[in-house]
Structure formats: structure tokens, C-alpha cells
Chain A
Amino acid sequence: MSDHDYRPKSKVGQWFNDRLPLLTLANHLTDYPTPKNLNYWWTFGGILTFCLITQIITGLTLAMHYIAHADMAFESVEHIMRDVNYGWLIRYIHANGASMFFLAVYIHIFRSLFYGSYKAPREIIWIIGIIIYLLMMAAAFMGYVLPWGQMSFWGATVITNLFSAIPFVGEGIVTWLWGGYSVDNPTLTRFFTLHYLIPFLILGLVVLHIWALHVPGNNNPVGIDIKKPSKDTVPFHPYIVIKDGFALLMFMIVFAFFVFYSPNILGHADNYIEANPMVTPAHIVPEWYLLPFYAILRSVPDKLLGVVAMLSAILILAVLPWLDTSKIRSAVFRPLYKQFYWILVADVLILGYVGAMPAEGLYLLIARVATAYYFLHFLVILPVLGFKEKTLPVPLSITEPVLGGSPNLATARKKESKIE
């Protein structure tokens, strides 16, 4: 890349840049050559950065008013809602912001699955992304505990009890996590500390995620390697900046709709009842973004195996680059994978739906079938497909199918020969 030749115009800039090459970095980021065919599914990286920063800023301001104590937490949240200037707004942005964050991350992950962005040479980007996703789930879970409502308390009880499934040391680990013999004040204070810490860990990993991305450069909808910089690329600024900005505005409309028109629709009414260790709510459900994994947990009748299945469902994603044996990245050129991809999307949505329903009768049966299919997709279908699938011819550059008028090389060539 040409970054290293960069030299600031001003004398002061040069003086500074010789001592700390921040301006070289800024120049790299603005000139960064980006595939010119990136579609709107590629704008979610920027949207996610926005979500993280929104959560950090609103979280910091909430922490100025929140009290992490079992006797005062619930009241302090109501105090934020009723007394603190714009407290309701900040809390609703933070609470719905978590959902928006997950909405964006799921689109981001499924975009990678469709266009094969996890494949060589981008495995490290992908794995860092999965670690970020895991940390997001931990942060969201612990954040949900802080208002100390009924769902907070019992959600915390159920999730921490997952560790009791570990043979021999399980009970000891749960007591250690709680700092007592049940979820109580020590649990709340440590969850608050960790909830405060994790976003900054995520921020650090985001830097690594982007750094790792900038080594090979972006994947693109055609999924081929491109020369950088070339006719196939455009500089990040202003082209991608404007496109990302426009997508962000659209996203913020959805965000604002939830915050201003239905701020509680994604939450649970039981969490407006203060935590009571004597009574479990009739129907415990996690937040919507964890439902597919919750469905997997409940579909297995054995305690330990249920926990193992749930964790495997997440961790299996980390080894995806090696489970998918196909050399072709984009599903555009993989007619069979494209169909299995949409079946997987449907499967995950079904898991999410049954995760919200009681674990009995038909729901349980559906959850079991969907769980089995989930693992089948990753462990059997993907490895086999790489060998069996007849893929479509891939264009040699991004420009080729555009000028030929078709993403398919053969038809593009045919058209070209007709013109001749």
C-alpha cells in the first residue's frame, strides 16, 4: 500500500507525523481501497461501530445515576426514569440500543455467511468477530441483570446455574460466580463491574477486527480476490463513507422508532416487578437475541448435554472457515449452498420462535428437529457441499460482469461475442 509514502503537507503535520505517525494512519483509512461493488449489506460494520459507541456513551451517563446494590438498584432505575433529566431517554436508548446492536450483528454475521467472508485469508477477522459476539452476549446478559427486576434475577439464576452442569466443580463455580449461596448483592456488584468493563474489551477487539480486515481488504459480493488499488476499487472516503452514512441514517430511523414509539416492546413486563427470590415468574424467557440458543438448550433432555449443545452451537461458528470446504466464497456462484443458506436462516428464525414458547408438545418437537438441522448444516452439509457442488464460473474481475451485463461469466462472454 502507498501509505508509507504519505507525507503531510504542513510543517507542523510533518513534525508531528515523524514523531507519531497518526496522520499516516488517517491517510490509510481515507484512501483505503474498497471494492466498488459493495452493497448495502456491507454497511453494517459502520452501523455496529455506531451501536458500540452509543452503548458506551449512554452506559457511562446511566452509571452516573445507577446504584449497584440489591436494595437500591431497582429504585435507582425508576429514579433514572422519573427524576433524572432525560433519564428516560438515555435509558431507553441504552436498552433498545442493545437490541439494535444484536439486530445489526446478526445481519453482519449472515452477510458473511452468504458471501463467504470468513474464508481464507479472512479467518482471523472472522474469529475475532465471534469473540466480539460472545462478549456482546455476556455484556447484554449482565446488563439485563442490573435493573434487578424479576426477569433480571431469575435470568441471572438460570444462566449462572448453567455452570452447575459441569461435573465435580460445577457447584463450586456457581457459588464463586454468585459470591454467596444464591444470586444476591455480591452478584449484582460484580456483574455491574464486568458490564462496565466488557464494552471496552469489545472496543479493543474492534480495532483488531478492522486491522485484520485492512490486511487482505474487504471481501465483496462477487467474492473474488481483486487487485488493490485498481479499477475494481474506490477509496474509502468519500465513496464508502457516504454510503455507510446513508445506511446509518436509515438504521437510526428504525432505532428511533423503538426508542420513541415502543420502548418496552422488546423487553418483558415482569422486569418492572422488583426481584423476589421467593417467586419465579411463570414463564422465563431471555431477550429475543438469545432465543435460538435458549431453544437449543431446552431441546436436549439432559442437563449437561443441553449446556454442551448450546455452547457448541455458538463455538461451531469459530471453526466455520475449516468446515466449509468450498473454494468459492460468494453464494452467488454456489447454487446449492445458496438454498441451504436460506434454509439455515429459516431454521434459526424457527429456533428463535420456539425458544419463546413453552418447552412442551409440538414446540419441543420442532425445537429438536431445528436443533438437529442446525448442527447438520455445519457438520455435514457444508463439508460435503464443497466436494459435491457444481459451482458457476466466477468472473475474473468485478468490472467484467458489469460490462458484460451479467454476473455469470459464461453469459457475459456470450454477450460479448455477440456484440463482436
Chain B
Amino acid sequence: MSEKKTKRRDFLFTATTAVGAVGAAAVVWPMIDQMNPDASVKALASTEVDVSALTPGNTLTVLWRGKPVFIRRRTQEEIDEARKVKMEDLIHPEKDEDRAKNPEWLVMLGVCTHLGCVPLNDKGDYNGWFCPCHGSHYDTSGRIRKGPAPLNMEIPKYEFVNANTIKIG
């Protein structure tokens, strides 16, 4: 009797616990997933912006998915400054050519990659953006150069619908 053997009862305990755990998980998941973005939030996927009034050296800020998007019409100096930076000087190396397909237009999420504040235009040590919350400096390509932010400001999916209209999303 004292021998340790796997018995029918042990099997039943294990099987019952396993089925119970699966059942509990199946009930818990909807409770967790309901907090994810709902269909109406996801539906606000794209927005079209008229940029005809924007002159070089100016920035337009629009709201997309509740977040500000910077549309910067860059001057030639800003483009040159962004393009001559060496890759090894960057915290998050990305070519300006990849960030701004059309060099005159820089379209990016105006959200600091540190903790999500909106950086200020034409500020900071690199003539680009400066985040007032915790002091991150971005260059004229929106790349992180100094401060606690780990990444460059994100480039959203966008396209020129025609010469004067940008579709974000």
C-alpha cells in the first residue's frame, strides 16, 4: 500500500485541473481583450491633409489616431544638415533618405519616444525638435541625438494623393 504508484485518482485530479485551467483561461481572455482598441477606434485609420498653404521652414501639426503628426516642409539647409550626418553619430541610425522619401517633406509622429510628450519645433541643440518633458533633442530629420529617448520619432505610413494632399495612415 505504501508504494508510490500513479493511480486512477491522480489521473482524474490532473485531468480535472487541466480542463479547469483551460476553461478559466477561455473566460479570462475576453475580459482582458475587451481593453484593447475597439472596432470604432481602429476604424479611424487614415486622414487626409491639405498642405498647399505650407511654406518651406514651417510645420503643420495634425491629429491622427489621437496623436499629433508633424508635417514639416524643410528648407534646403535643413535637408543638407540632415543628410550630412554620419551614421556612427546616431543613437538610432537611420538615413534621412529613408525617413523623407521626398526630401522637402518630413512627415512623422510628433511623439517623443521616451514617454510620449509632444516635442517643440525649432528647438534644441540640433535645430530640430526638443522635448520639454525630459530633455530629448532631435535633429532636422527627427532623429534622436541627445537625451533619454531611445528611438527616432516614428514615420507613419503616408502618401501624396496629389501635389497638395497627404494621406496619413
Contact = CB atoms under 8 A, between A and B. Distances in A.
A277 B117 CA distance: 9
B30 interface: no
B138 to A, nearest CB: 14
Q: Classify chain A: how many residues form its interface, as a range.
A: 35 or more
Interface stretch (B62-70, B96-104, B157-165): B62-70
Interface of A is mostly: loop
Contacts of B37: 175, 178-181, 186
Contacts of B67: 181-182, 277
Interface in A300-354: 301-303, 306
Interface residues of B, number: 25
B56 interface: no
A403 B43 CA distance: 78
B134 A298 contact: yes
Given A181-B65, A181-B66, A282-B132, A175 B36 contact: yes
Interface in A161-199: 161-162, 164, 175-184, 186, 190
Contact of A303 (B68, B114, B135): B114
Given A284-B133, A303-B150, A306-B148, A179 B41 contact: yes
Question: Which of A176, A180, A281 has the most chain B CB within a 10 Å cutoff?
Answer: A180
A280 interface: yes
Question: Which of A177, A181, A186 has the most chain B CB within a 10 Å cutoff?
Answer: A181
A349 to B, nearest CB: 22
A158 interface: yes
Contacts of B18: none
A145 B169 CA distance: 29
A47 B32 CA distance: 37
A161 B35 contact: no
Interface of B: 32, 35-38, 41, 61, 63, 65-68, 114-118, 131-135, 148-150
Given A186-B41, A281-B132, 6 more contacts: A158-B116, A180-B41, A280-B131, A284-B132, A303-B148, A359-B135
